[in-house]
Each structure stands twice: as C-alpha cells, then as structure tokens.
Structure 1
Amino acid sequence: MSQSVEHVLIVGAGLAGLRTAEELRRAGYTGQITLLGDENRAPYDRPPLSKQYMRAETDDTALRPAEFYSEQRIRLRLGVAATGVDTAARRVHLSDGTDAHYDALVIATGLRPRRIPGLPEVSGVHVLRSHADAAALREHLGSARKAVIVGAGFIGCELAASFLSRDLDVTLVEPQPTPLFAALGEQVGALVTRLHEAEGVAVRCGAGVESLVAEGDSVSGVRLADGTVLDADLVVIGIGSVPVTSWLEGSGIPLATPSEGGGVLTDATGRTSIPGVWAVGDVAAWPHASGRHKRVEHWTNAGEQAQTLAAALLGTETTAEVQVPYVWSDQYDMKIQVLGIPALADEIRIVEDKGRKFLAHYLRAGELVAVVGASMVGKVMKARAELAANLRPQAAVG
C-alpha cells in the first residue's frame, strides 16, 4: 500500500461498504475510514426486511452495534448523498453542499428499485429496498386485506410468503412463464410455482401489468394486459433494481451500459481504471466466469469482494481460491439455495422431486455449474468443490 493512502472514503453504507471497512481494519489498515450513506440509519441487513422484519418477528436489523464504529475508528456520515466526483482532485461532492476528500474511493452505492413507467402515483403502492420502504409496507399490512405483488423474483416470492403469514389474500403476478424464471429457469420455476400455490398464493404468470386501478387517491386494483382486474388494497412493485451510478456521470469512471446490466467496471480486485477508485458489491461489475463483466447481487458476494478489494488496496494481493456464488431465499418453512451460476447452464436436470423438497443440477457441456435445492441443504453444499473446479475464472471481455 502506498503511504499516501491516509483516508479511504467508502460511498454507500450498506453491507458491501461496511464489509470493506471491516476488512481494511482486519488487514491492518490504520488510516482514516469514512463510511458515507444517504439514509439516516447505520448499516443494516436487507434480507430480513422481506421476511422476519415484515412478519414483525424482529425490529433489529442492524449489522453492528453502535459502539462498533467508534471501537474500529470508522467514521459514519449518514443522511448525506454523493452527487458527483472530481477524480483529479480526489473529491466527492455531497448533497449538503460540502466536499469530501479521499486518497482511495470505494464505490458501494448499491441499487435502487425499478419502477413501472406510466403508473399513477396513488397510495398503497410500494417498493422494497430500504428500511424506510419496509417500515411503510409493514405498517400498511395492518389494514390491508388483498395484496398483489408484481414481480416474482426472490423478493416477490419472499413477500408472498410473509404476507400469507399476516393473513392477507396474495396474488403473485409475473410476466415470465414462472416465478424465478430469470434466475433459475422454467423447470425449477415450475416447482416454485407449485410451492406457492400449495400454500394458497394465486400465481399469475405470463401476465403483464397495464395499469393500476384507484378509488380516490388509493389503489384498489391492478389491471393486467389481458384486461383482467385483480382487486388489491396493497400493491408491491418488485421488478428488479438498477445500480446507483448517476452521480458518477461525467467523472470518467468507467460504467457498463444498461444493456450490459450497468454498474462500475473493475478488474478482478475491484480496482477501476481511474487511480484510487474502486467498486464493490451490487453496484460493481467485476470479471465473471461467463467471460464478461457482471454485477452479482448476492449477500455473500459482498463480503467476498470486500476481502479481495481490501487486500488489493493495501498491496497484499494474493491468489484467492475460486469463490462459488451462493444465494438463499427463505420461503415458508423452506430454504431455497442456489450454489453456482445457473445462467451458464445449457441443461437442467431435476435430480430429486419430493414435493416440498427438490434438487436440480445445472450443466454446461455436461459439467456441473450450479445446484439449486429446496430444503436440501446438505446435498446443495456438498457440490461446492466440484463447482469451484468447474467455474474457473475466465478473462473478462467487453
């Protein structure tokens, strides 16, 4: 590490930003660390927001106790957003009119939810990304009776399960052929459909949303493209997210195009082509096993990238073992696990199907590249070594 790196400024006080600060301290960095976030809340865990928090089983989603930050000498600057960056002067412009100097800048600004263009602004329509989003949605559950969730990705499916536990009638709307189609494919998506329908969720796939129906200024339904109107006094739009990079426009920091998934382009350690600028977590497009740069929106990925980035920033880069992507989703009493990269597969085999339990292998040219299981924890994790051997990194292109 260059001795000139006296101040590391991490923009984004989420999981990836916090993990980067922790890894820097763990690796022996003694300089100043500032963790800057646009929410008035210390770093918190997002996965419980759609599950335990939504079911009112917990209110505590903090990743670390308050005293942790003073003990680790991590300065929190909350409630202020980055609005621009001057990479020549190494200064980040902030929403309060001030600038923050850095010797090393780590971009960890994460994602913001997509919206459906053209929908009217009426009450009762929610997205879920931030703690404030979750709090507003949970409060609405107390008076709601019929919920429509638009988008059957992981968040949509988890919310469907949580809403059922709060005695709501739930309809899950997905324009693709099945829930989790984009992530897991149609065969496994059909098994997920079966799980939700067995619990009482109405699953409407292959259905696009045309508009919202309102009574006064409150939502009363969702009109589908085929003209069907689904009654609803609560609607959640869960159609994915986009990386928060607009504040980087004009900075010269390289960005992937929207068609490539967006995000900040980096090398395999999180380093961008601009001196002193790094990126980590959901906003970062690192080299991927597919041979291209890709953002990976997984909880475990944030920690693995942070460890790699911190070592590289401190000049202690090592040849790390192949990290096998891992994501899980708790739905009802089931844990759906995804180990590996399903998108690489050219064949999917359902190895076991026991109703509420299933196991699927994803193959590329006959080699295992991913395993997906519901309530099959041991059998999924047993495949890690084989997957690591088959997912050797390739040089990123494009």
Structure 2
Amino acid sequence: MTTAASVDHVLVVGAGLAGLRTVAELRAAGYTGRLELIGAEVHPPYDRPPLSKELLSKPGPVWLAEDLGHDLTELADEVHLGVRAASLRSSTDGVQVTSAGGRTFSADQVVLATGSHALRPPEWTGVVTLHTLDEAEQLRSALAERGEVIVIGAGWIGAEVAGVAAGAGSRVQVLESGPVPLWRQLGEELGQRTVPWYAEAGVSLH
C-alpha cells in the first residue's frame, strides 16, 4: 500500500539521521511507493554527536554509523549522495528539487530533512565549524598542531570540543555571548554550575 493513492513517489532531502529516520518510518508505516533520498555529503547517514565527543579517540568513519539501526540502501529505492539541493518548486504536477549541479528530481511529495548549519561570515579565515564528518577531519588535523584554539560558543558541542582540544595539549579559550555556559539549554542557575568545569579542564572561559 501507499500512504495515499496520489503519493507514489516521495523524495527526502537530507541524508542525516532525520532523513534516514523519515525513510525508515515511512516503510514501517506500510508505504510501498517509490522512496528517493538526496544528501549533500558524500557519506552515508551517521550519528553526529560522536563528532565532538569522540573527536580524537575514534578517528575512523565506520563506527559513526554503527548504532543507527537502519540500512538506508535497503529501505530507499535510490540514494544520491554528494548532491546539494539548491531550489524547490511546487506545482499541481508535484514537486521539483534542483541540485546545485543543475540536476532535477521530481516527486509527488518532498520531505525536507536538511538540519541546521552554523553561520560563518565569509571574511573569516581559519575558522572551522563542526557539523559534518569532513569538518571533524579538518578540525582533527588542526588540533594535531597543538596551537591556540578559540571556541565560539559554550554550548554542548563547544564544551566538548574545548575539553578535547585542551586534553590534546592545545591552549583553549571559549567565548560565550550569554551570561553563563548552556544558559539557553539549562537556565542561568544550572549553567553557572558548569563554569568550574572549564577551569578544571584547563580552558579559559570568557
């Protein structure tokens, strides 16, 4: 069966955990129509938290996908990796997604599961964001030099990267715009309790 008589083809944009789960849940719900997925990265779906948690302890890429619980190639009819979506157009005939390379993908319905990305001013050089496996590899190479590292943001990822970098021998400073670390996630009272962690790890918090 399909979820609706008119929905014979679903295109999922985004090959992260959300994209993989979307495909898996559609199949689990009994959808038997055509499922196609495109993703900007060349890597199959993987778990992102270990990118910061295991930045230096587990450098290989294979383990990142160990615990996802689904095989995308078995669930989707077609998977296109290394394809970045650039535009979307909807009409009475369906939806069309055009890639940055000019390729067009058509479907009855499109699911956007592209996730979020850090905003980096184009004039900033020598700046690495941490969202993808390739960015983790770049950061890992930079940390091997054991120089000075400035982390912008004292959220969970910033704290994990700062701790890993300091443990590897880098001089680390963390810049946080809020009153205390993790104030958005935990509130100021609990966030204040994390401040000593930075000093204990040898990290300067500003």
The TM tier, using the shorter chain, reads: 0.7 to 0.9
Question: Partner of 2:151 in structure 1?
Answer: 149
What letter corresponds to residue 52 of structure 2 in structure 1?
S
1:126-165 equivalences in 2 (<5 Å): 126-165=128-167
Amino acid of the residue matched to residue 10 of structure 2? V
What is residue 176 of structure 1 aligned with on the other side?
Answer: 178
Could you give the per-residue CA deviations for residues 93-129 of structure 1, whole angstroms, max 9, x where no partner exists? 22222211111210111111122x4x84433x21111
- Label 1:160 to 1:139 Cα distance change in 2 as closer, same or farther (>3 A): same
Query: Which SS does the other structure have where 2:196 is aligned?
Result: helix
Paired position in structure 1 for 2:83: 80
Structure 1 equivalent of residue 9 of structure 2:
7
Displacement of 1:40 in angstroms is 1.1
Is contact 2:35-2:77 (8 Å) kept?
Answer: yes
CA distance 1:12–1:93, change in 2 (3 Å): same
Does the aligned pair in 2 maintain the 1:149–1:170 contact within 8 Å? yes
Q: Higher strand fraction: Structure 1 or Structure 2? A: 1
Distance (Å, rounded) in 1 between the aligned partners of 2:87 and 2:133? 25
**Structure 1 residue aligned with 2:47, among 33, 39, 45?**
45
Assess, with a 3 A threshold, how the Cα gap between structure 1 residues 177 and 75 changes in structure 2: closer, same or farther: same
**1:70 alignment partner in structure 2:** 73
Which ranges in structure 2 are unaligned for 5 or more consecutive residues? Answer: none
Matching of residue 18 in structure 1 with residue 30 in structure 2: no
Pair 5,163 (structure 1): closer, same or farther in 2 beyond 3 Å: same
3-state SS of paired residue (1:87): strand
1:94 alignment counterpart: 99
Question: Paired residue for 2:58?
Answer: 57
Say which structure is richer in helix: 2
Q: 1:93 to 1:188 in 2, by over 3 A?
A: same
TM-score by length of 2: 0.88
Larger radius of gyration: 1
Q: 1:171 to 1:27 in 2, by over 3 A?
A: same
Q: For 1:241-320, what aligned pairs fall within 5 Å after superposition?
A: none
SS of alignment partner, residue 194 of structure 2? helix
Structure 1 spans left out of the alignment, 5+ residues: 205-398
**Equivalent residue of 1:92, what SS?**
strand
Tell me the CA shift for residue 63 of structure 1.
Answer: 5.7
Query: CA 1:187–1:129 in 2, change beyond 3 Å: closer, same or farther?
Result: same
Q: TM-score, normalised by structure 1?
A: 0.47
Identity of aligned residues (%): 37
Change (3 A) 1:114 1:121: closer
Q: Size of the alignment, in residue pairs?
A: 199
Superposition deviation, residue 62 in structure 1: 2.4
- Counterpart-to-counterpart distance in 1, 2:67 and 2:37: 13
Q: Is the 8 A contact 1:43 1:63 kept in 2?
A: no
Where does structure 1 differ by over 6 angstroms across 4 or more consecutive aligned residues?
Answer: none
